[in-house]
Structure 1
Amino acid sequence: MALVHGFPSRRSVLALLGFLAACAGVGQQAGEMGVRTGVVEQIVDVPLPTSHHAGVGAVVGGLAGLSVGSLIGAGSGRDVAMVLAAVGGAVAGNEVEKTHAQPVPGQQIVVRTGSGILISVTQPGVAGLRKGQVVYVEGHGDGARVVAR
């Protein structure tokens, strides 16, 4: 890249922008989703982690402990009681949240595409999918999902 007064020249910048635009144009456009077809080879039921917001129990428990601790003692003893009650409440709230978090039923679906490639997608349970069924695999990576054709 040629430098003019310490900065890249206009021609270098335009060439770089043209290259980047060409690279961005290859493949999918924004908002498009890749869809492949295939046949279900295997379906395994698996538990998926719940989608609840982790930490809510600790926050609620900590706030409850803080309010209870503020009722105890006076002066610096009150401050110590508030801190200890907040920490204890946060720990207790976190434990309660963990015991009530139930896994979501899901499926690991193995699909053989038309090109012979095996794809494994883990998603929340989809009623009606069965081995040997022709399906669509929408998207890629963690966002992929299998739907009936």
Structure 2
Amino acid sequence: MAARLFYRVAAFAMALVLTACAAPGSQPGSMTIRQGKIEQITPTQIASSHHTGVGAVLGGLTGLGIGSLIGGGTGRDVAMVVGAIGGTMAGSEVARRYDSPVAGQEIFVRTDSGVLVEVTQPVTPGLRVGQRVFIQGNGEAARVVPQ
């Protein structure tokens, strides 16, 4: 009987603790929209998010698979090694082509609450200093769009 009471009290206390830790306001995955006026726009370059190592690994595995279809015995082993090396080099080169930076903008927005927010995003035509805008989202997902 005492054990049941202890478990119920412990469960109630845990529920209180978890409820107290929950942050009010926006939840993960929700979109926050703020508004303000653009104070400055600076051209910049945004680094590519592609990883050249992924291309090399996929190319190497593809080359290994193709090499395993050729011949038999020692010749097959040689074909697998050559295929893996060739595929790694080809995959790395293909990934490198997509690794160039993208034209972007650093946009400084003074929100209606007086906070200065900087957002780096791909070039959005039509944005200009003094324009009223919305800031959608948070962190790396934030974007400035015309009002």
Q: Tell me how many residue pairs correspond in the alignment.
A: 144
Does 2:66 match 1:67? Answer: yes
Identity rate of aligned residues, in percent? Answer: 42
8 Å CA contact retained: 2:46, 2:122: yes
Equivalent position SS for 2:79: helix
Cα-to-partner distance string for 1:4-57 (whole Å, 9 max, x where unaligned): 49xx62122123213323443611257642222211111122233446675246
2:86 to 71, 85, 88: 88
Residue 140 (structure 1) aligns with: 138
Taking the aligned partners of 1:51 and 1:38, their CA distance within structure 2 comes to: 29
Q: Distance in 2 between matches of 1:91 and 1:69?
A: 18
Structure 1 length normalisation: TM-score? 0.73
Q: Structure 1 stretch 54-63 or stretch 92-101: which is displaced more?
A: 54-63
Counterpart Cα distance in 2 of 1:106 and 1:65 = 39
Structure 2 residue 12 is matched with structure 1 residue 11 = no
SS in 2 for 1:40: strand
CA distance in 2: counterparts of 1:89 and 1:41, whole angstroms: 49
Question: Structure 2 length as normaliser, TM-score?
Answer: 0.74
Corresponding residue of 1:106 = 104
Distance 1:82 1:34, change over 3 A: same
Q: Does 1:36 align with 2:34?
A: yes
Kept after mapping to 2: 8 A contact 1:58/1:91: no
Which deviates further from its counterpart, 34-43 or 83-92? 83-92
Q: Which runs of 5+ in 1 are unaligned?
A: none
